[in-house]
Structure 1
Amino acid sequence: MKKRNSFGIFTLVLILSLCGCTQDKIPMSSSSDIQKEQDTLPEAEITPEEEPFLYGYQNLNEEEKTRYRQILAGIENYEDSVTVEACSEEEINRVSNLVFVDHPEIFWLEQQKYSFNQKENSDVDLLELNLVYNMEKDEIEDTKRQIEAKAEEWSQELSNCENEYDKIKYVYEFLGKNVLYDSESENNQNIQSVFLNQSTVCMGFAKATQYLLVRNGIFCTLVTGKVIPENMEHAWNLVRIGENYYYVDTTWSSSGFVPEEDSIQDFSYTYLCCTAQTLERSHVPDDNLTLPECKDDSYNYYKQNQSWYESYDESQIYQVLKASILEKREKEDFKFANEEAYQQAVSALAEGNLIEQAVQEFYSFDGENSYRWNVGCSDAELLITVYW
């Protein structure tokens, strides 16, 4: 799900399009040909160092964790099928989905696309998942090397980042500015689309964000859900800085504001380390994960850059406009804490003549000279941007 805004002088209309994050499932069929014994089922090893980064795994009970490790072992060993301890269809769907939530590096399978056969009326109840690959197995290792090489190249600047927030911000900016949103991109449900083709949709953006941050020691997990009011499927991330959690939506790093025809869309920091209150204006998470509280607002980009307004103060806004013109800034952001203040600002800046008044203090017009500006408004973000 990519948000798009059409742009014009004074007004901006928000348009959202589907990101293509649907997941297909092949119905269950019954079989009785599973012969493996329960106590010999292989399991992947999860080390104490890895476990804190596996948020989906942490959401499971002990029996589910066993099935998770069994599924992961088969995927990592490129098996055609995986045998696990038997459970309901709902349970195995949940566990297998969380394997993909925790492991963005798994790109060689069609996520959630498998058939499974259950042995009935036996002392040992087992379940067989038949895996569906999106490439030949002999291609996987070479593709891994290509992805890892590109990730290493893109991560070089992270060593210069002073703290966790700076690393998250770097990844958010880098992917947002260097990877194209394209609903027709190949392999757009996995990280191949990002690292090999530099074009993807929301699932690719979210998995690539997770992949880069985790490999650089930052907690990051995948979150899926819907955007409202369109009720379309979407994917984003949950990160942690210190003891606090925040949401990140790299797909929506573009504000959608286009100051001039054919220009690059402007950049938005609304969904960089934001709170649940900010996110839930437009995002509704699925219930597959128990998500922590995200209340801390310490890393609000607009607060840090003096573009945050708790209320609408016309004289304050007017002085900011004059300073912006005097200092010849390219643009000025006005991010508001609440709907009432935002709507007051829209009336003054996008529909009223407050900007014109500020401009006339600096320039005289004789009928031939002109001074042009554009105003972008995002109702979802409570953000107004004036472009000079």
Structure 2
Amino acid sequence: MMGITSKAERHALNKIIESLYLYSDEITVASLFSNEKLQSCLQNELVCNPELFFVNGFKLMYSPITTAVYPSYGYDEATFKRILDSCRKKRSQLVSRIQGNDNYSRVLQAHDFLARNVRYINGIDKDLHTIVGPFTKKQGVCEGYAKAYKYLLDMMNIPCRIVYGYGCDPGVEIEESHAWNMIQLDENWLHVDVTFDTTIRSGQVLRYDYFGLSTEQIARDHRFEKEKYPIAECLGYGYYERNNLVMTTRKQMRDYLSGALHSGKTDCVFKLPDSSSGENLDAKVSSEIQNLLQQLRMNLRYTINFNLKQRVFHASFER
């Protein structure tokens, strides 16, 4: 993307954005940009500002002195104002409920709100691709999740970007166009895919397979133009790492499961180290659980939901 290189260009771009909120049909600015650069900057604004959901695109009329921008709007002005007001109120309400001053905890709570309350639904409704779907209809596609997550983090002043690329769905292992986020904590960039965490779960247990990942970790089942985005190279921000749920030895896994079962838990989600290799990891984990149940003399039925690319397992027990 061709970036802004002067205060005059930034002033002109800000004028255009402000005029969009006023629903101007024609916006005239000094011809500081080439048509290509201005179009690129405007398209970037549509990606970076989730509130510009009401703008479909732009036509430009260039002259040596001034450039006229003709926006294409997706709603009438009254509908736009009503929807924007609803989204802003919902965002303020949600952010006010987020507790604590630790940014890791805050971005995790924002993740949990979307994972709990927004249903993934595939469809052609344009609202599903913007903040409108998640905040007014409680449903969206991956782009809607990514924009909604950024919208929440923007209000908390936590740097957040939307990544466009491809994702290989852990359930069906089919690669499709996909969108997710990168966030910045402690000056470190990390990947967060709320959509995959929402759709991979079984039952009411939240999953964090794609929270706080490095570029190397996310690249196991995501593909994108890495040179366009910051490098995420810091480890240790994943949810399972932070909560001591990475089982580095068989004994650690057996102790964790044994303690959970004795305390009455019916769901256990844990991760194996990224270095875990070998075929049939799911079968090996299942065998370990079966042996543990026999050792504990617990006659329990169980199912395992697994995400082999990220080495995460969800064991659910029936009591």
Q: TM-score range by the shorter chain?
A: 0.7 to 0.9
| 2:30 is the counterpart of 1:80 | no
1:295 to 219, 233, 243: 233
Amino acid paired to 1:291: Y
1:98 deviates by: 1.3
Alignment of 1:328-367 (within 5 A): 328-338=264-274, 340-341=276-277, 343=279, 345-350=281-286, 353-363=287-297
Give per-residue Cα distances to partners, 1:119-142, cap 9 Å, x unaligned: 5xxxx1654443111111133333
1:166 deviates by: 0.9
State TM-score, norm by structure 1: 0.71
The answer as to whether partners of 2:120 and 2:198 remain within 8 angstroms in 1 is no
Instruction: Return the alpha-carbon distance in structure 2 between the equivalents of residues 347 and 256 of structure 1.
Output: 19
The answer as to whether partners of 2:60 and 2:69 remain within 8 angstroms in 1 is yes
The answer as to whether partners of 1:104 and 1:210 remain within 8 angstroms in 2 is yes
The answer as to whether partners of 1:68 and 1:99 remain within 8 angstroms in 2 is no
| 2:177 is the counterpart of 1:233 | yes
Q: Structure 1 residues 315, 142: closer, same or farther in 2, change over 3 A?
A: closer
Instruction: Return the alpha-carbon distance in structure 2 between the equivalents of residues 345 and 316 of structure 1.
Output: 16
Higher mean alpha-carbon deviation, 334-343 vs 99-108, is at 334-343
Q: Structure 1 residues 318, 298: closer, same or farther in 2, change over 3 A?
A: closer
Instruction: Return the alpha-carbon distance in structure 1 between the equivalents of residues 304 and 158 of structure 2.
Output: 36
The answer as to whether partners of 1:67 and 1:95 remain within 8 angstroms in 2 is no
Question: Equivalent residue of 1:106, what SS?
Answer: helix
1:107 to 53, 57, 69: 53
Give per-residue Cα distances to partners, 1:310-352, cap 9 Å, x unaligned: 5xx33443333333322222222231233544746423124xx
Instruction: Return the alpha-carbon distance in structure 2 between the equivalents of residues 100 and 241 of structure 1.
Output: 24
The answer as to whether partners of 2:201 and 2:207 remain within 8 angstroms in 1 is no
| 2:106 is the counterpart of 1:167 | yes
Amino acid paired to 1:192: V
Provide the residue aligned with 1:201 in structure 2.
Answer: 141
Instruction: Return the alpha-carbon distance in structure 2 between the equivalents of residues 76 and 283 of structure 1.
Output: 35
1:293 deviates by: 2.2
Instruction: Return the alpha-carbon distance in structure 2 between the equivalents of residues 316 and 218 of structure 1.
Output: 35
Provide the residue aligned with 2:316 in structure 1.
Answer: 387
Give per-residue Cα distances to partners, 1:81-101, cap 9 Å, x unaligned: 344535254x34431221122
The answer as to whether partners of 1:70 and 1:83 remain within 8 angstroms in 2 is no
Question: Equivalent residue of 1:153, what SS?
Answer: helix
Give per-residue Cα distances to partners, 1:250-287, cap 9 Å, x unaligned: 112226243xxxx45x4221222221111122222347
Amino acid paired to 1:321: L
Amino acid paired to 1:174: F
Instruction: Return the alpha-carbon distance in structure 1 between the equivalents of residues 9 and 176 of structure 2.
Output: 29
Give per-residue Cα distances to partners, 1:153-186, cap 9 Å, x unaligned: 212222x223111110000000111011112355
Question: Equivalent residue of 1:333, what SS?
Answer: strand
Amino acid paired to 1:171: A
Alignment of 1:100-139 (within 5 A): 100-110=46-56, 113-119=57-63, 124=64, 127-139=67-79
Provide the residue aligned with 2:218 in structure 1.
Answer: 279
Q: How many pairs were matched up? A: 309
Amino acid paired to 2:93: E
In angstroms, what is the RMSD of aligned CA positions? 2.8
Q: Structure 1 residues 174, 257: closer, same or farther in 2, change over 3 A?
A: closer
Higher mean alpha-carbon deviation, 77-86 vs 172-181, is at 77-86
Instruction: Return the alpha-carbon distance in structure 2 between the equivalents of residues 83 and 220 of structure 1.
Output: 31
State TM-score, norm by structure 2: 0.85
Q: Structure 1 residues 385, 357: closer, same or farther in 2, change over 3 A?
A: same
1:69 deviates by: 3.2
Give per-residue Cα distances to partners, 1:285-310, cap 9 Å, x unaligned: 347x8422212223221112221135
Instruction: Return the alpha-carbon distance in structure 1 between the equivalents of residues 4 and 308 of structure 2.
Output: 38
Percent of residue pairs identical: 19
- Greater RCO, CA 8 A, separation 6+: 1
The answer as to whether partners of 1:308 and 1:337 remain within 8 angstroms in 2 is yes
Q: Structure 1 residues 316, 296: closer, same or farther in 2, change over 3 A?
A: same
Instruction: Return the alpha-carbon distance in structure 2 between the equivalents of residues 216 and 316 of structure 1.
Output: 37
The answer as to whether partners of 1:178 and 1:198 remain within 8 angstroms in 2 is yes
Amino acid paired to 2:184: R
1:224 deviates by: 1.7
Q: Structure 1 residues 74, 174: closer, same or farther in 2, change over 3 A?
A: same
Instruction: Return the alpha-carbon distance in structure 1 between the equivalents of residues 83 and 284 of structure 2.
Output: 54
Amino acid paired to 2:267: K
2:190 to 246, 251, 261: 246
- List alignment gaps of at least 5 residues for structure 2: none
Instruction: Return the alpha-carbon distance in structure 1 between the equivalents of residues 296 and 247 of structure 2.
Output: 25
Q: Structure 1 residues 339, 197: closer, same or farther in 2, change over 3 A?
A: same
| 2:160 is the counterpart of 1:220 | yes
The answer as to whether partners of 1:325 and 1:359 remain within 8 angstroms in 2 is no
Amino acid paired to 2:54: W
